[in-house]
Amino acid sequence: MTHRIAPKTIVSISLGLLVAFLVVSPASPSEANVESAIKAILAVGKEGKGATEAARALRELSRQEADVLPALLAAMDQASPEASNYLRAAVEAVADKAITQGKPLPVKQLEAFVQDHKHHPKARRLAYDLLLHVDPTLPERWLPGMLQDPSLELRRDAVAMALREAEAALASGDKDAARQKFEQAFRAARDRDQVDALAKQLKALGVSVDIAGHFGFIRDWLLVGPFDNSGGIGFAASYPPENSVDPKAEYVGKQNARLTWKPHTTADPYGVVDLNKAIGKHMGAVGYAYAVVESPEARPVEVRVGSNNAVKVWLNGQELISHEEYHHGNRMDQYIGSGMLKPGRNEVLIKICQNEQKEEWAQSWSFQLRLCDRVGTAVPVTVVKHPAERSAAGTAGEGR
């Protein structure tokens, strides 16, 4: 290869800078080919737009030597999900060829890439996987320092290693060391299976853990319902809480029932609110849950919901989630919407629709909702316990 691009430069700059660098530098034909091939792949769009050009570009990139890998990985920083999968195919083709031919991978550049948190987490994990081909000691050396890694997969491996170490300490009789390691791993864990395993170990050691708080589940709600969802009409219907929430308001609900907001605090460790208990068992019904959270600053947030029911979610009036499916399964973080928290008061409204299926397994009417960042870390907000004030400018439906 005749590339004269310093790999360290490649991994530390965005693709835009990379392109600029290539433009002002006297590029070899191979460099120019790489640059235009990456551009073609980044241009791939929805519904197969640009796929023919991307496939051609992929063939060009697949012919390159392994020192092109950092540039391909860096291009993922601003790639669409479609383009990322094309780039991944190029990375795998180039790396496979090098490994099969016994040629070296650019280890130092790949290591620098993994260590640079500015790069896309998935690209960093892919670089890490490439390094594992040449250095099986990598997990031992790196994972202890990756407990707070923004790549969920790297963090998961780091937590798994910490969990094993804690269990080993426990088995050797060193309870203090085990507890400290379990606590450290618990703080870092973001996947439910690991959190569960760690919470169980900590409880056995007499340490109390707050799983709902760890994940950022909202526990304090105002609830109102049932409104009508006979024949599934309720999902599309806009009932009064979608216009504004007044905790003192009275509504006319299903079968002319007089409805008022009721405070509810769930004690479920995963923040599950059972509406069959909190509102009452109803079929063909809509319930609303409303919460107010105070944020110290403006920040991006993910609203994550699990429910067996059809749901809609609004944050400060903006619809983030709309999913009309009933009783096909329920898991934490089933539906994810991205939004922005404002400094100060923020309003969360969720609509939970129950249908009229009679089967025993279709009787669940419940939800869980949490606020977190993209990694799944609870965002620092204070939940206002059972707010009494009317919403300032409505809660839903107008995109406020």
Judged by DSSP in three states, 92 sits in: helix
Choose which of 334, 346, 355, 368 interacts with other proteins (CB under 8 A).
334
Q: What is the DSSP string of 356-387?
A: ---SGGG---EEEEEEE-TTSPBP--EEESS-
Choose which of 3, 12, 33, 88 interacts with other proteins (CB under 8 A).
88
Sites for other proteins among residues 139-178 (CB under 8 A): 153, 156
Q: How do beta strands 366-372 and 299-306 pair?
A: antiparallel
- State the Cα–Cα distance between residues 368 and 215, nearest whole angstrom: 11
With binding defined as CB under 8 A, does residue 48 bind other proteins? yes
With binding defined as CB under 8 A, does residue 108 bind other proteins? no
Phi, psi of 167 (to 5 degrees): -65, -35
Encoded one letter per residue, x for contact with other proteins by CB under 8 A and - for no contact, window 1-40 reads ----------------------------------------
Q: How many residues bind other proteins (CB under 8 A)?
A: 33
Tokens linked to 53: 């050009």
- Measured over the CA atoms of residue 254, residue 265, residue 391 and residue 349, the dihedral's sign is negative
With binding defined as CB under 8 A, does residue 82 bind other proteins? yes
Choose which of 9, 14, 30, 62 interacts with other proteins (CB under 8 A).
62
Sequence-distant (6+) residues with CB within 8 A of 3 are: 28, 30, 31, 67, 68
- State the Cα–Cα distance between residues 111 and 252, nearest whole angstrom: 63
With binding defined as CB under 8 A, does residue 56 bind other proteins? no
- State the Cα–Cα distance between residues 345 and 295, nearest whole angstrom: 7
With binding defined as CB under 8 A, does residue 324 bind other proteins? yes
User: Would you say how long the chain is, in residues?
Assistant: 400
Task: Specify the residue, 194 or 316, whose C-beta has the smaller distance to other proteins.
Answer: 194
With binding defined as CB under 8 A, does residue 72 bind other proteins? no
3-state secondary structure 47-89: HHCCHHHHHHHHHHHHCCCHHHHHHHHHHHHHCCHHHHHHHHH
With binding defined as CB under 8 A, does residue 47 bind other proteins? yes
- State the Cα–Cα distance between residues 292 and 301, nearest whole angstrom: 15
Q: What is the DSSP string of 124-152?
A: HHHHHHHHHHH-TTHHHHHGGG-TT-SSH
With binding defined as CB under 8 A, does residue 79 bind other proteins? no
- Return the H-helix or E-strand segment holding 203: helix 192-204
Nearest-approach distance from CB 327 to other proteins, in angstroms:
9
Nearest-approach distance from CB 325 to other proteins, in angstroms:
5
- Give the count of alpha carbons within 13 A of 285, CB side only: 22
Query: Which span sits near other proteins by CB under 8 A: 41-49, 172-180, 261-269, 350-358?
Result: 41-49
Task: Specify the residue, 228 or 333, whose C-beta has the smaller distance to other proteins.
Answer: 333
With binding defined as CB under 8 A, does residue 380 bind other proteins? no
First to last CA, the chain: 55
Task: Specify the residue, 328 or 358, whose C-beta has the smaller distance to other proteins.
Answer: 328
Task: Specify the residue, 164 or 175, whose C-beta has the smaller distance to other proteins.
Answer: 164
Choose which of 84, 364, 366, 395 interacts with other proteins (CB under 8 A).
84
Task: Specify the residue, 11 or 61, whose C-beta has the smaller distance to other proteins.
Answer: 61
Choose which of 19, 51, 362, 378 interacts with other proteins (CB under 8 A).
51
- State the Cα–Cα distance between residues 275 and 225, nearest whole angstrom: 9
Encoded one letter per residue, x for contact with other proteins by CB under 8 A and - for no contact, window 208-247 reads ----------------------------------------
With binding defined as CB under 8 A, does residue 366 bind other proteins? no
With binding defined as CB under 8 A, does residue 360 bind other proteins? no
With binding defined as CB under 8 A, does residue 92 bind other proteins? yes
Query: Which span sits near other proteins by CB under 8 A: 43-51, 111-119, 136-144, 230-238?
Result: 43-51
Residues in contact with other proteins by the rule CB under 8 A: 46-48, 51-52, 54-55, 58-59, 62, 81-82, 84-86, 88-89, 92-93, 96, 122, 153, 156, 191, 193, 323-325, 328-331, 334
